[in-house]
Amino acid sequence: MSNNKEKVISFPHIGNYHTPITKLIENTLEGKVVLAPPITKKTIDLGAKNSPDFVCVPFKYNLGNYIEALDNGANFLIQAGGGCRFGYYGEVQEQILKDLGYDFEFFSLVDTSNVSPIAYYKEFKKINPKLNFRQFYSAFKLALEQVNAIDDIEKYIRENIGFEVNEGSFEKLEKSFHSDLSKTNNTKEVKNIYNEYKFKFEQIPIDKPKNPLRVGIVGELYVLMEPFSSYFIEKEMAKKGIEVKRFITISYLLFSKDHNEKKLIKYANPYLKYAIGADGTDSVARTKQLAESGFDGIIHIKPFGCTPEVNSMPPVQRVSRDYNIPVLYFSFDTQTSETGIKTRLEAFYDMLIMRKEKI
Ligand code: SF4
């Protein structure tokens, strides 16, 4: 790609986080952002068709996003690093796309788990050498503020959407929240939008029983946060009137995960003695936490072939046995049957209801 060309930047989707990522890029890098189209069946078909068989599902979704973004005019792609083999995926994806004949630049962030502004600044400066720290810091703060607002609002939605009186009321307001959030460009505005929408969400009429069915969802971060990849499992649970608890969000990954790891391993004892990589440690510790907090059931989700999550399954199963709490396991791939997921979820739900009535 010629150096004089304007940068048209894109990145893979994950949940609703494209707003803060876009703002961070627009406010720090020279160029414009072209979002990959929202994920559809075509995205994953493109990704799967051009990926090696052995890679996990996040690789395939990201690759599909890149192809669609390049087809829409992107010429500069960004990939995040990760605490598992994901950290090596950038190079492979770049080569695949080059072999497909695309002309672009590719940049892999080295380690996005270290949330220090200095570390991120050093990475972004490699892309834009003119970037100064002051400019970066205020853009970084804005993005983090937006991430926190999204995570807090979505937590409220997960806990209450299953009990809305007027179907679609949460979803409608959520769309409007994301649209307003995408127009903000300073932290004060983000705080105002957050407060305004938190209030509005709390005003939505719900009919929530005192003791609703509560299910925790644990597992690998991509399938937890990108609803398309888990066949909108949280939405399916909400349709059944279930309150959903999920720990993993971007703010959790950025601010708490690493600091908490030792504590989580200690807490997960005797089921776990060492970290088992990526989100596996979390899955075991959180399963125990959910069991001790009186949740009715747990759903463990992972991409097919995800080693850290495969490792977490035996200890999760032991927690399930010792605390007598049911766990339903799902493994997602590009060929997963949606009907199969719905049927198993239905059976799990019936079992939880019967169990609750008995208790
Ligand atoms: S955590 Fe598992 S699924 Fe996610 S990128 Fe790593 S290996 Fe793949």
Instruction: Supply the CATH number for residue 246's domain.
Output: 3.40.50.11900
Lookup: tokens for 208: 């929530």
- Asked whether residue 95 falls in the same domain as residue 182, the answer is no
- Domain assignment present for residue 136? The answer is no
- Asked whether residue 264 falls in the same domain as residue 220, the answer is yes
Q: Report CA(35)–ligand 1 centroid distance (Å).
A: 23
Structural domain of 116: 8-131
Q: Report CA(54)–ligand 1 centroid distance (Å).
A: 12
Tens-place pLDDT, residues 141-186: 999 999 999 999 999 999 999 999 999 999 999 999 999 999 999 9
- Asked whether residue 323 falls in the same domain as residue 193, the answer is no
Tell me the whole-structure pTM to 2 decimals. 0.95
Which of 162, 178, 207 represents a domain boundary (last residue)? 207
- Asked whether residue 248 falls in the same domain as residue 264, the answer is yes
Question: What is the pLDDT, as a whole number, of residue 150?
Answer: 98
What is the amino acid identity at position 116? Answer: S
Q: Report CA(84)–ligand 1 centroid distance (Å).
A: 6
Q: pLDDT under 50 in the chain at which residues?
A: none
- From the number of C-beta atoms within 10 Å of its C-beta (0-12, 13-18, 19+), residue 135 rates as middle
Q: Report CA(87)–ligand 1 centroid distance (Å).
A: 10
> How far apart are alpha carbons 338 and 280 in whole angstroms?
25
Q: Residue 273: which residues within 8 A CB-CB, separation 6 or more?
A: 265
Q: Which of 53, 60, 84 to mutate to test the pocket of ligand 1 (most atoms within 8 A of CB)?
A: 84
The fraction of the chain above a pLDDT of 70, given in percent, is: 97
Question: What is the pLDDT, as a whole number, of residue 95?
Answer: 97
Q: Atom 5 of ligand 1 has which residue's CA nearest to it?
A: 86
- Domain assignment present for residue 1? The answer is no
Question: Which atom number of ligand 1 is nearest to the Cα of residue 56?
Answer: 8
Question: What is the pLDDT, as a whole number, of residue 114?
Answer: 62
- Domain assignment present for residue 258? The answer is yes
Ligand 1 binding residues, C-beta < 6 A: 56, 58, 82, 84-86, 220, 222, 278, 303, 306-308
Q: Which of 14, 56, 79 to mutate to test the pocket of ligand 1 (most atoms within 8 A of CB)?
A: 56
Question: Which atom number of ligand 1 is nearest to the Cα of residue 306?
Answer: 2
- Asked whether residue 256 falls in the same domain as residue 352, the answer is yes
**Buried b or exposed e, range 176-198, using 16+ CB within 10 angstroms:** ebbebbbebeebebbeebbeebe
Question: What is the pLDDT, as a whole number, of residue 211?
Answer: 95
Which of 83, 109, 131 represents a domain boundary (last residue)? 131
> How far apart are alpha carbons 112 and 110 in whole angstroms?
7
Question: Which atom number of ligand 1 is nearest to the Cα of residue 222?
Answer: 4
Q: Which of 54, 301, 306 to mutate to test the pocket of ligand 1 (most atoms within 8 A of CB)?
A: 306
- Asked whether residue 216 falls in the same domain as residue 354, the answer is yes
> How far apart are alpha carbons 208 and 324 in whole angstroms?
26
Question: What is the pLDDT, as a whole number, of residue 2?
Answer: 56
Tens-place pLDDT, residues 100-144: 999 999 998 876 566 678 888 998 999 999 999 999 999 999 999
Which of 66, 99, 131 represents a domain boundary (last residue)? 131
- Asked whether residue 290 falls in the same domain as residue 224, the answer is yes
- Domain assignment present for residue 139? The answer is no
> How far apart are alpha carbons 35 and 38 in whole angstroms?
8
Question: Which atom number of ligand 1 is nearest to the Cα of residue 55?
Answer: 8
Number of folded domains in the chain?
Answer: 3
> How far apart are alpha carbons 40 and 286 in whole angstroms?
31
- Specify whether the CB–CB gap between 342 and 336 falls below 8 A: no
Question: Which atom number of ligand 1 is nearest to the Cα of residue 84?
Answer: 6
> How far apart are alpha carbons 310 and 302 in whole angstroms?
8
Q: Atom 6 of ligand 1 has which residue's CA nearest to it?
A: 84
Question: What is the pLDDT, as a whole number, of residue 111?
Answer: 64
- Domain assignment present for residue 273? The answer is yes
- Asked whether residue 26 falls in the same domain as residue 107, the answer is yes
